Amino acid sequence: MRVTMFGTGYVGLVTGACLAEIGHEVICVDVDSNRIERLQAGEIPLYEPGLAPLVRGNAAAGRLHFTVDPVRALEGAEIVSIAVGTPPNGEGGADLSQVLAVAETIGTHLSAAAIVVNKSTVPVGTAQRVHDTINAVLARRDVQLDVDVASNPEFLKEGAAVKDCMHPDRIVLGASRRTTFDRLRKLYAPFVRNHDRFVEMDVRSAELTKYAANALLATKISFMNEMARIAEHVGADIEQVRLGIGPDPRIGWHFIYAGAGYGGACFPKDVLALAHAARDAGVPAPLLDAVHAVNDRQKRHLYTLIQRHYGGPPAGRTFALWGAAFKPNTDDVRGAPSLTLLQQLWDAGATVRVYDPKALDELRRTLGDREDLALCDSPAAALDGCDALVVVTEWREFRSPDLELMRERIGDRVVFDGRNIYDPVELEEHGIAYYGIGRGRSL
Ligand code: NAD
């Protein structure tokens, strides 16, 4: 099929490349000309495991194209996907301006019937707004085209996006016409050859499904972080509690880690947007509000532990930070707990040396060059001249550290482990003070 993909971010680029990989002809369009130029030159503007060879291979095979020109992008399009950003609008709701701008563009340049598929995370009723917008523009052009708008929320995870796209748990399709379901099934069929993983539903339910999934995952995290707070204050270890609750299949092992709080460009904004939409509909959402509030506090908890250790603001000290990305295997620092901690440390008058295997460029782009920030090219380099180490992202390479090196290089011999990846006893045996999240002994 001939697919047009609006947006070349984590969702658009990965999905576009995966659709090309299974044989479709895909053209990705973005308003960011620099991004498109880089893609045309074979440069991948974001880090996602396995993405670079997929993009380059399919571009070379002539199945994957990049353009800023919507006229070219929409020529002959059978499926038009929308995968642009839906950031917070300042009042907690979702800013739909990018989505509606794409709808205007589609209405302006579409020349034949097509199915429009919304992959962006959007409030219930947005597909209808996209439909109305396209039709209003078509009417202005005095053109009549059959355009159906479907919802196909995206569930890929950054850090495993290619794998998730190629082997999805499920593909949620929200539509009202049988023919639309059938076309979309055909589009994605090679991803689900093993067995049928399509979940068909009405459009509004599909839109809500995405928020429900993210809100539930965020709730699990905030729940564990609240348990961690309790554990810390009653002298229990949340890691042992985790091992004790995970075997229950009703609870499960996933998403029950206490940590430095959830970040990224999705969970924080989606929890807020859902709560906002609920309030708009006259439904109080106290659980969602609490999930957000717990997370907000959790992102500041590492700093609380630091202050507790030093008996006040750590002015004049130097901290090594291992990890800046909001989670491992991505370069994305949007909403990352590291940003909150960096600001707190700077406000206190501290200096920070950061190492992250993939996210340093994004960090520099986000924060600019500063005297109190050193970007380091190895974990050991970040420890040079530091007083304390803070682990913020649980990259694999941090898991088995050289404890002797830590002891030698960390001036105050203290580690703040925001992801509970170390054994407190082992560190203490090496003469290193240990603070984790929800590990009773932290008090
Ligand atoms: P992103 O910010 O990485 O990329 C969005 C891209 O859209 C940018 O390159 C931007 O330039 C482009 N864009 C903006 N307006 C445009 C327009 N009018 N025409 C063409 N391109 C335009 O965003 P993302 O992380 O890929 O997320 C996209 C959507 O998918 C959001 O709604 C997000 O909530 C949702 N989502 C994201 C993830 C994730 O893990 N990142 C997972 C599932 C769903």
Q: In sequence order, what are the residues at sequence separation of 6 or more whose Cβ sits closer than 8 angstroms to the Cβ of residue 54?
A: 17, 18, 20, 21, 162
Beta strands in 226-301 (DSSP E): none
Name the binding residues for NAD(+): 30, 35, 86, 121, 158, 269, 334
The CA distance from 119 to 81, in Å, is: 7
Question: What is the per-residue pLDDT across 166-194, written as a single tens digit (0 to 9) for each?
Answer: 999 999 999 999 999 999 999 999 999 99
The CA distance from 324 to 7, in Å, is: 25
Predicted-complex ipTM score: 0.99
Q: What percent of the chain has pLDDT over 70?
A: 99
**What is the rounded radius of gyration, in angstroms, for the C-alpha atoms of the chain?**
24
Structural tokens at position 75: 């020529």
To the nearest 10 degrees (0 to 180), the angle between helices 337-347 and 286-299 is 50
Question: What is the per-residue pLDDT across 311-349, written as a single tens digit (0 to 9) for each?
Answer: 999 999 999 999 999 999 999 999 999 999 999 999 999
Q: Are 437 and 230 in contact (CB under 8 A)?
A: no
Q: What is the pLDDT of residue 440?
A: 85
pLDDT band at 268 (very low <50, low <70, confident <90, very high): very high
Query: Which residues face 391 on adjacent strands?
Result: 322, 417
Residue with tokens 């707070």: 229
Burial class (CB in 10 A: 0-12, 13-18, 19+), 8: buried
Q: What is the pLDDT of residue 118?
A: 98
Q: What is the pLDDT of residue 441?
A: 63
Question: What is the per-residue pLDDT across 16-38, written as a single tens digit (0 to 9) for each?
Answer: 999 999 999 999 999 999 999 99
- Using alpha carbons, select from 59, 74, 64, 68 the residue that is nearest to residue 25: 64
Is pLDDT above 70 for 443?
no
Query: 67 by DSSP, 3-state: which?
Result: strand
Our answer on whether the CB atom of 332 is closer than 6 Å to any ligand 1 atom is: no
- Using alpha carbons, select from 8, 148, 23, 164 the residue that is nearest to residue 79: 148
The CA distance from 224 to 216, in Å, is: 13
pLDDT band at 137 (very low <50, low <70, confident <90, very high): very high
Q: What is the pLDDT of residue 152?
A: 98
Structural tokens at position 324: 């800046």
CATH class held by domain 231-443 = alpha beta
Measure 415 CA to ligand 1 centroid, in angstroms: 36
Q: What is the pLDDT of residue 105?
A: 98
Q: What is the pLDDT of residue 361?
A: 97
Q: Which overall architecture, per CATH, does domain 2-201 show?
A: 3-Layer(aba) Sandwich (3.40)
Is pLDDT above 60 for 442?
no
Is pLDDT above 90 for 50?
yes
* Burial readout 159-180 (b: 16 or more C-beta within 10 A, e: otherwise): bebbbbbbebeebbbbbeeeeb
Q: What is the mean pLDDT of the chain?
A: 97
Our answer on whether the CB atom of 32 is closer than 6 Å to any ligand 1 atom is: yes
Mutate which of 5, 37, 100, 154 for ligand 1? The one with the most ligand atoms within 8 Å of its CB, which is 154
Question: What is the per-residue pLDDT across 66-119, written as a single tens digit (0 to 9) for each?
Answer: 999 999 999 999 999 999 999 999 999 999 999 999 999 999 999 999 999 999
Question: Which amino acid, 269?
Answer: K
Question: What is the per-residue pLDDT across 415-432, written as a single tens digit (0 to 9) for each?
Answer: 999 999 999 999 999 999
3-state percent helix, strand, coil for the chain, nearest multiple of 5? 45, 15, 40
Our answer on whether the CB atom of 11 is closer than 6 Å to any ligand 1 atom is: yes
Residue ranges, comma separated, of all CATH 3.40.50.720 domains in the chain are: 2-201, 231-443
